[in-house]
A and B are shown apart, each in its own frame.
Chain A
């Protein structure tokens, strides 16, 4: 017997959570695209999709976010800092890859200066992950040593039942327990078996790839030019990636008042690293693609002991020229280290 949440109780859950002061967020399809968005009713969830087009990142690190408001008057500068809107929230139906993405970026936002925008939202969010029972051609979590039921970054893991009528509940953190205590009355002990997990074939051997990337000789390999020749340098892979975290800071306003904002930025863009002098350390698209791969699988793990990729596959799924991490690492895994 395990504690289960049955689908027919989901609407009651949403109501209870909302009355307990949580806002409820989950996968939603609207217009031509899908994302994690706020819902009022369980029926608004679209729990059938493999994963939303847009990653969970934007709920913690929005594409544009005000940092401070300034006013300048007679030789006095006044600034008022924005802090993210406070409030507990439950993000229901998160995919394990998206949840892992959050835990991958925690050390980055936490080393040295602690990014309060990120951590306030992290602390106030309960990640209720649903293990995957289906995958598509682009999913690659297993290649990253993760799985359709990875628990990284999650507060609760739900395992879908075989009859597709609910989930087994695994409480992983205190925050998760607290959120589920609000709906304790709706949970039932049951012995229904869980549905088989999605089969995600391993696309490459990560260790082989990492060994190749770590060999300094391969930095100048012709491989980088060949693989990235068709890259058009749009930032979609980085913007959809649950772990890409680069940003820009921009002022909007005049000499009297305005707002300083933090906006997503991308290592795919030529201007990203361009010095004022015109010198650009990464002046070619191949250098920028190499940086992205190196950063994810060599530099970032070297610093934070975790790969900066959770295997969601969005980079390939949405790439206008059918590139992505999978193809690059698949090819690398066939090269001599």
Chain B
């Protein structure tokens, strides 16, 4: 796939827009891709790395991915320039069943570099805004600089049909920060969205997910109405290599999207 766009989101975090080189591959992607699925992005000579497709299922002319430069593959990806070719395998995994969210209020909760998978669902829903009720987005990062998709956050903030709550961890605020300061679960409890007819989608680091699930429970959310994605280490993406296993689940095939009810049946210590 060819890199056609490249954007620095936050220190070490980049978004790339990729276009298919082969029309048949593109058509297959259009047919298969639904929000929540992931892919393996690769640079020959370095390897492949797994992350979600950050663009929504309503926009399939391209693929967008957002990643933090941290390992061998992501460093190579980060060094790739517009016009360079990289590889994509996928889309793999299951999806957020957004057609079952029709007519419901949506609550998106996300932390740090985990906004990309949430963003894919958010846009998939906002692109057919009329089908959903109230949309609330709670997004937090360690510091103001670590917030990703800043221009889209501005856009959501301005939209009358979206409630956006932004927060940074204590100490991460900048002098001109006008939004909240506090950890995501705390901010969520303050915002206290109603569980009535509401679907929650949460993505974040394991520790955030753990405490956010507790907060949602406190607010009265039913575990079956809470969705999350598990971002495990993967290599093959097709249920063979074994490393994404959590209990009997192959996250790459049966996930990455799970309801909180499904997650609660997994061995907690292995998450």
Contact = CB atoms under 8 A, between A and B. Distances in A.
Interface string A59-87: 00000000000101001110100000000
B70 interface: yes
Contacts of B247: 294, 299
A75 B2 CA distance: 9
B170 interface: no
A303 interface: yes
A287 B70 CA distance: 26
B45 interface: yes
Q: 7 tightest A-B contacts by CB? A: A246-B242, A299-B248, A113-B238, A70-B44, A302-B248, A276-B70, A251-B47
B201 to A, nearest CB: 21
B205 A279 contact: yes
Nearest to B248: A299
A295 B245 contact: yes
A131 B247 CA distance: 35
A113 B240 contact: yes
B3 to A, nearest CB: 11
Given A245-B242, A276-B71, A294-B247, 9 more contacts: A70-B44, A75-B85, A113-B238, A251-B44, A260-B47, A275-B231, A277-B205, A291-B245, A295-B245
- Interface size on B, as a range, is 35 or more
B220 interface: no
Interface string B209-248: 0000000000000000000000111011011111101111
Interface of A is mostly: mixed
Interface residues of A, number: 47
Contacts of A111: 239
A247 B44 contact: no
Contact of B270 (A72, A250, A291): A291
B44 A258 contact: yes
B45 A254 contact: yes
A109 B240 CA distance: 6
Contact of B240 (A70, A115, A220, A300): A115
A223 interface: no
Interface in B173-219: 205-206
A249 interface: yes
A72 B243 CA distance: 30
A281 interface: yes
Nearest to A301: B248
A294 B267 CA distance: 11
A267 B242 contact: yes
B45 A251 contact: yes
Given A249-B236, A276-B70, A282 B270 contact: yes
The listed residue with most A CB atoms (<10 A of its CB), out of B70, B238, B269, is B269
B241 A249 contact: yes
B74 interface: yes
Given A112-B238, A275-B232, A251 B87 contact: no
Interface in B241-271: 241-243, 245-248, 253, 267, 269-271
Contacts of B83: 75
Interface string A261-282: 0000101000011111101011
Interface in A284-314: 287, 291, 294-295, 298-300, 302-303
Contacts of A216: 267
B158 interface: no
B26 interface: no
A300 B248 CA distance: 7
Given A275-B233, A291-B270, A248 B239 contact: no
B235 A249 contact: yes
Given A245-B240, A276-B68, A279-B206, A253 B85 contact: no
A139 B2 CA distance: 55
Contact of A258 (B45, B253, B271): B45
Nearest to B236: A249
The listed residue with most A CB atoms (<10 A of its CB), out of B48, B68, B239, B240, is B240
Nearest to A113: B238
B233 A273 contact: yes
A248 B241 contact: yes
Contacts of B48: 249
Given A245-B240, A251-B46, A303 B248 contact: yes
A50 interface: no
A104 B44 CA distance: 33
A33 interface: no
Interface string B31-64: 0000000000000111111000000000000000
Contacts of B235: 247-249, 265
A228 B240 CA distance: 26
B242 A247 contact: yes
B236 A247 contact: yes
B44 A77 contact: yes
26 contacts: A70-B45, A75-B85, A77-B85, A79-B44, A111-B239, A115-B240, A220-B269, A245-B240, A246-B243, A249-B235, A249-B236, A251-B44, A253-B44, A260-B44, A265-B241, A265-B242, A272-B243, A274-B233, A275-B233, A276-B74, A277-B205, A279-B206, A295-B242, A299-B245, A299-B247, A300-B248
